[in-house]
A and B are shown apart, each in its own frame.
Chain A
Amino acid sequence: AQKVTQAQTEISVVEKEDVTLDCVYETRDTTYYLFWYKQPPSGELVFLIRRNFFDEQNEISGRYSWNFQKSTSSFNFTITASQVVDSAVYFCALSEAWSGNTPLVFGKGTRLSVIA
């Protein structure tokens, strides 16, 4: 069975602080994908990143970075110099990868509030 755990329900930071959102996953699949999505107050889910099971190289995109470690089954997301516009609910998700077209299993989300 697949499971994604986001232990942090809510995080509040002051603007310009760095913040890390934790994600731990469980899967019996030998091939899988990991994802992060952002859900701003408007409600629409925005795709941020997909990571293949074999690719443990850290990813950086502007102020966003992701750290994937298979040894600890974690796929953490860091926002550097946070901004008010980063306030949203962030979801980590997992899918098996044999076909690439399978449903995602989501964590329960972390609500990030960035205070000016």
Chain B
Amino acid sequence: DVKVTQSSRYLVKRTGEKVFLECVQDMDHENMFWYRQDPGLGLRLIYFSYDVKMKEKGDIPEGYSVSREKKERFSLILESASTNQTSMYLCASIGGYLYEQYFGPGTRLTVT
């Protein structure tokens, strides 16, 4: 089975803290994605990566950065967390002949 794992299911951070959200996939997929999910807004793309050390901005990159040093790992970084970044964060990777996006379980981040 494809496995996309995320480092935490729940996270509580204070305003101004630097936050790292880690995502790891074990299927050797080249493409990985970070989405943010908010009620009534659906899933919105923050950043994605086609390969190691490559990154592309999505629809809402402001306030976020990413790191892809190894193929299996894609990290989302909140340089200085703010309350409006309280959300569910979902990581995904694409692969297989059906090009399905496999999603991780999500990290629910609360910034107080």
Contact = CB atoms under 8 A, between A and B. Distances in A.
Nearest to A104: B101
Residue from the set B44, B58, B103 with the largest chain A CB neighbour count within 10 Å: B103
A44 B40 CA distance: 17
Interface residues of B, number: 27
Contacts of B35: 106
Interface in A26-52: 33, 35, 37, 42-45, 47, 50
B105 A44 contact: yes
A36 to B, nearest CB: 12
Given A101-B31, A101-B99, A104-B101, A43 B43 contact: no
Contact of A43 (B41, B88, B99, B102): B88
B100 interface: yes
Given A91-B43, A106-B42, A108-B40, A100 B99 contact: yes
B106 A44 contact: yes
A101 B106 contact: no
Interface residues of A, number: 21
Interface in A72-113: 91, 93, 100-101, 103-109
Contacts of A37: 103
B50 interface: yes
Contacts of B43: 91, 93, 104, 106
Contacts of B41: 108
B33 interface: yes
Interface of A: 9, 33, 35, 37, 42-45, 47, 50, 91, 93, 100-101, 103-109
19 contacts: A33-B99, A37-B103, A43-B106, A43-B108, A44-B106, A45-B92, A47-B101, A47-B102, A50-B98, A50-B100, A101-B50, A101-B99, A103-B48, A104-B45, A104-B101, A105-B45, A106-B44, A108-B40, A109-B42
